[in-house]
């Protein structure tokens, strides 16, 4: 490339010497000859002056046709020089897929990306597919959900308009207020771009923003993160991994199934549970739902080393919610390193504040050991036994063991088969 630039510049210089008047200071001892050109009289003329004298003699033979040709060539070389010197295209956007299931702590995890000033974040956009394409099994909805994710990664926010009613406002995007980017300019002028945005204030000031502003905002960010909970097979996402236009990083978040079950009992997930149970029951069935969740989470992890595509290498990171709660700053640092994000003092302070409330976060993490009866725990352990073995969650054998908070039930992360848990 440098040789090509040098060649272009050299030829351009030769042409300019012929076409443009040459400064007299380059031949300080020369005189005008009888043909109106200067003839160098230097004892040892410089190379530039020698070149000029030679070209000066050529100039006397230039006809109008040759001059026009030289002018055209000069303009062409100038254009080529500008074309070759253009700045390289900016790096592609990094696409982050936070892969989890319902009530696994993924909402909190999503906020760790949403509040980053370089990230455009959407929480569970596939929910639009689930709620507007009823009557299908979860497996059949994975394809449309993946295609929606693909379009959103390209900032084609208009695809969401197929799932919302007129008039199209950003408030119709599921959980709008969980996206700091959509609560910031140009979508919403109520906050500055780098602010940590409170959800209540976002709802109060940003709901009426036009839908088209979402795409305008999306393209201004270097990273895009989507949290999804409706995938049950990692293989469905392989087309995204093999797409050269996407720089995809998958973060797979999981949690102790017993804690998941305890949380699900407190929060209604009727529409989603109904769809998951659809193939077996007319009404949601907690046992079927837990089996589906546990089986799919373990299956997606196991797929990472059972004939994975080459494109998956370095693009999958498994994280336990327990690790996130116990060391939030350390886990966030690992995520940011994995996705090429830089942290900031403001962001670190925010993470510290939301994870160090009056009650120790680890106690909240272990709440299931008081909330569930031993019989309920046994049932979950039976349903989710394969997943618990894969992810290293130790079963309890008695009620006394269950209530003993000093007993750690999360085993050190070990290898399953021949592959490490974290494939980075």
Q: What's the 3-state SS for 51-69?
A: HHHHHHHHHCCCCHHHHHH
Mean pLDDT of 396-411: 92
> Whole-angstrom Cα distance, residue 177 to residue 338?
26
DSSP string, 378-422: HHHHHHTHHHHHHHTBPPP-SHHHHH-TTS--BPPP--BTTB-S-
pTM score of the predicted model = 0.73
| Percentage of residues of the chain with pLDDT beyond 90 | 34
| DSSP annotation of 25 | G
Quickly state the pLDDT bin for 42 (edges 50, 70, 90): very low
Decide if pLDDT at 64 tops 80.
no
- Which helix (H) or strand (E) segment holds residue 318: the answer is strand 316-320
Helices 345-355, 328-338: inter-axial angle, 10-degree rounding: 140
Compute how many other C-beta atoms are within 10 angstroms of the C-beta atom of residue 309: 12
Decide if pLDDT at 215 tops 50.
yes
CA distance readout (Å), 257 to 103, 119, 125, 366, 405: 10, 30, 24, 12, 17
Decide if pLDDT at 420 tops 80.
no
Mean pLDDT of 135-142: 74
Residue ranges per structural domain of the chain: 2-84, 94-155+219-355
Decide if pLDDT at 12 tops 50.
no
291 or 70: which carries more pLDDT confidence?
Answer: 291
Contact 150, 189 (CB under 8 A): no
Mean pLDDT of 126-142: 75
pLDDT at 113: 94
Quickly state the pLDDT bin for 248 (edges 50, 70, 90): very high
Mean pLDDT of 266-293: 66
| Percentage of residues of the chain with pLDDT beyond 70 | 66
pLDDT at 44: 40
CA angle 158, 164, 170 (to 5 degrees): 65
Q: Kindly report which listed range (35-44, 55-64, 83-92, 249-258) carries the lowest average pLDDT score.
A: 35-44
pLDDT digits (tens, 9 = 90+) for 368-384: 999 999 999 999 999 99
Quickly state the pLDDT bin for 334 (edges 50, 70, 90): very high
Contact 214, 159 (CB under 8 A): no
CATH class belonging to 94-155+219-355: alpha beta
Q: Residue 345: exposed, middle, or buried by beta-carbon count in 10 A (0-12, 13-18, 19+)?
A: exposed
- Residue 254 φ then ψ, to 5°: -135, 170
Query: 3-class DSSP state for residue 217?
Result: helix
pLDDT at 279: 52
Mean pLDDT of 176-186: 86
pLDDT at 190: 73
Mean pLDDT of 161-185: 81
Decide if pLDDT at 262 tops 50.
yes
- Residue 169 φ then ψ, to 5°: -125, 155
Mean pLDDT of 197-223: 85
Compute how many other C-beta atoms are within 10 angstroms of the C-beta atom of residue 125: 23
Decide if pLDDT at 149 tops 70.
yes
Cis peptide preceding 303, ω within 30 of 0: no
Bridge partners of 223?
A: 94, 119
Average pLDDT score, the chain = 76
């Amino acid at each position: 490339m440098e040789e090509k630039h040098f060649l272009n510049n050299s030829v351009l210089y030769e042409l300019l010497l012929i076409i443009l008047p040459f400064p007299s200071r380059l031949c300080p001892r020369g005189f005008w000859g009888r043909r109106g050109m200067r003839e160098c009289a230097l004892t040892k003329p410089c190379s530039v002056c020698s070149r000029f004298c030679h070209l000066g003699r050529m100039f006397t033979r230039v006809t109008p046709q040759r001059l026009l040709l030289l002018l055209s060539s000069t303009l062409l070389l100038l254009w080529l020089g500008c074309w070759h010197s253009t700045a390289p295209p900016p790096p592609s956007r990094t696409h982050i897929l936070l892969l989890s299931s319902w009530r696994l702590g993924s909402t909190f995890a999503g906020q760790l990306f949403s509040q980053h000033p370089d990230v455009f974040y959407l929480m569970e956009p596939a929910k639009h597919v689930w709620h507007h394409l009823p009557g299908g099994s979860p497996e059949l909805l994975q394809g449309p959900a993946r295609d929606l994710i693909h379009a959103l990664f390209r900032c084609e926010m208009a695809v969401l308009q197929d799932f919302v009613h007129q008039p199209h406002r950003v408030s119709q995007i599921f959980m709008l207020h969980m996206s700091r980017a959509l609560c910031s300019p140009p979508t919403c002028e109520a906050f500055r771009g780098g602010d940590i945005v409170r959800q209540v204030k976002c709802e109060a000031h940003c709901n009426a923003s036009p839908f088209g502003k979402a795409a305008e905002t999306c393209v201004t960010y270097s990273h895009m993160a989507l949290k999804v909970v409706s995938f049950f097979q990692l293989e469905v996402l392989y087309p995204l991994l093999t797409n050269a236009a996407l720089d995809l990083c998958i973060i797979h978040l999981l949690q102790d199934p017993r804690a998941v079950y305890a949380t699900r009992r407190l929060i209604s997930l009727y529409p989603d549970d109904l769809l998951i149970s659809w193939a077996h029951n007319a009404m949601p069935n907690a046992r079927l739902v837990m089996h589906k969740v546990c089986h799919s989470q373990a299956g997606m992890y196991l797929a990472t080393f059972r004939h994975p595509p080459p494109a998956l290498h370095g693009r999958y990171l498994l994280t336990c919610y327990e690790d996130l709660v116990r060391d939030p700053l350390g886990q966030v640092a690992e995520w940011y390193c994995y996705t090429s994000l830089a942290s900031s003092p403001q962001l670190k302070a925010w993470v510290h504040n939301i994870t160090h409330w009056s009650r120790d976060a680890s106690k909240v993490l272990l709440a299931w050991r008081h909330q569930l009866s031993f019989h309920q725990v046994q049932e979950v352990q039976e349903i989710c036994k394969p997943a618990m073995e894969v992810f290293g969650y130790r079963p309890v054998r008695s009620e006394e063991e269950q209530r003993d908070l000093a007993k750690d039930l999360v085993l050190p992360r070990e290898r399953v088969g021949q592959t490490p848990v974290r494939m980075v």
